[in-house]
Structure 1
């Protein structure tokens, strides 16, 4: 299906890489300053960066973004599909600076990792140890206490379009611990922005699924979240 979409011209790809990644250097480099001032300033700093990203995607790559569905007005647990870097930035902006899952390798980057922790990132250790899981749970609980939404990618990693791996066990733990409304998020960014291959023009859809209340049995909530996250798969 994606092969039928027009390839983004080379000059547009070069312009995006030059403008976005070049412009990101001073933004990311000054992140620790915002982190020292306070979390609200750091969230505003991150939102400015993600807004810049959206502008570059639309204006330089010629990719449009369509938002479908509604989301709750208060804090929620968002469980999103992950196909490209695009949604990790776009959902930060759309969800007003949620506490976001972050793989441990990124959290270990000097200075930047410290800033991410100040932002309220939930550090995910892929070895799945009990201690790492307890740490993530503690960070998520602190984010809830601050009145923030939590954003996770419960399949555990970026996947190609059409792939629907099972949810990692940490999702059920967070769902039970936080007792928040849960919103599955489907995306199809991988059709246009694949990890390998040519970037293509078109429209990326972000679809907020039906809100799932807390307190459901594990099997039921996992099945509902998995189905809604993959609603855009073809």
Structure 2
């Protein structure tokens, strides 16, 4: 994070940090670049991740990632949802937060895709809060591109859904509401911030 700031002029601002619960929660965030993998370490209490198994194959980084014991899944198999549910419940019982990118991959800030319900299933089963987070990192650190644009990434903790707010609601209903909220706020950030023409 410090290198991104000093070398590329890439800073960030966070709004709504005071909303974070005091107990382990499931964090659902949009995924636009590698930047948020680093950023989560800064503001989210001790946590674990749901990641793609392919990340273990990245030289050096993959080995380090594996030592953190994340929930690694193969999205091509039907057992991935079961792995997320079982692994997620275990991590929360251990007192860890859980970070999930429900879009299931890095998505351009100009695209909107439906989110997967796995994160909501874990939260409802564990009876823990759901933290909804959005950002516009993809405007400055685009997915699949090594060029970084200087500027200030904006992160917003949009809302926290507590277990008592989901009583009587099914997974799909809660997932759809979160999707609508994430899409709305993500689009607001894209419209608000224009990426710089300078490159790093």
Give the C-alpha shift of residue 96 in structure 1: 2.7
CA contact (8 A) 1:75 1:149 kept: yes
CA pair 200-118 structure 1, distance change in 2 beyond 3 A: closer
Give the C-alpha shift of residue 159 in structure 1: 0.3
Give the C-alpha shift of residue 178 in structure 1: 2.2
Larger strand fraction of residues: 2
Please point out which of 157, 162, 166 is paired with 2:110: 162
> Is structure 2 residue 168 aligned with structure 1 residue 221?
no
CA contact (8 A) 2:129 2:162 kept: yes
Please point out which of 157, 172, 186 is paired with 2:134: 186
TM-score normalised per structure 2? 0.80
TM-score normalised per structure 1? 0.69
CA distance in 1, matches of 2:36, 2:108: 14
- 1:17: which partner in 2? none
CA distance in 2, matches of 1:71, 1:222: 20
Query: What are the ranges of 5 or more consecutive residues in structure 2 without an aligned counterpart?
Result: 192-200
| Secondary structure, counterpart of 1:163 in structure 2 | coil
Please point out which of 164, 186, 190 is paired with 1:232: 186
| Secondary structure, counterpart of 1:183 in structure 2 | strand
Please point out which of 81, 91, 114 is paired with 1:143: 91
Kindly report the root-mean-square deviation, in angstroms, between the aligned alpha carbons of the 2 structures: 2.2
CA distance in 2, matches of 1:175, 1:186: 18
Give the C-alpha shift of residue 88 in structure 1: 1.1
Give the C-alpha shift of residue 232 in structure 1: 2.6
Give the C-alpha shift of residue 192 in structure 1: 0.8
Q: Indicate the structure whose relative CO is greater, using CA pairs within 8 Å and at least 6 residues apart.
A: 2
Please point out which of 26, 36, 44 is paired with 1:95: 44
Query: What are the ranges of 5 or more consecutive residues in structure 1 without an aligned counterpart?
Result: 1-53
| Secondary structure, counterpart of 1:171 in structure 2 | helix
CA contact (8 A) 1:79 1:229 kept: no
CA contact (8 A) 2:121 2:171 kept: no
- 1:202: which partner in 2? 151
Q: How many pairs are equivalent?
A: 180
- 1:64: which partner in 2? 11
- Structure showing greater radius of gyration is 1
Larger helix fraction of residues: 1
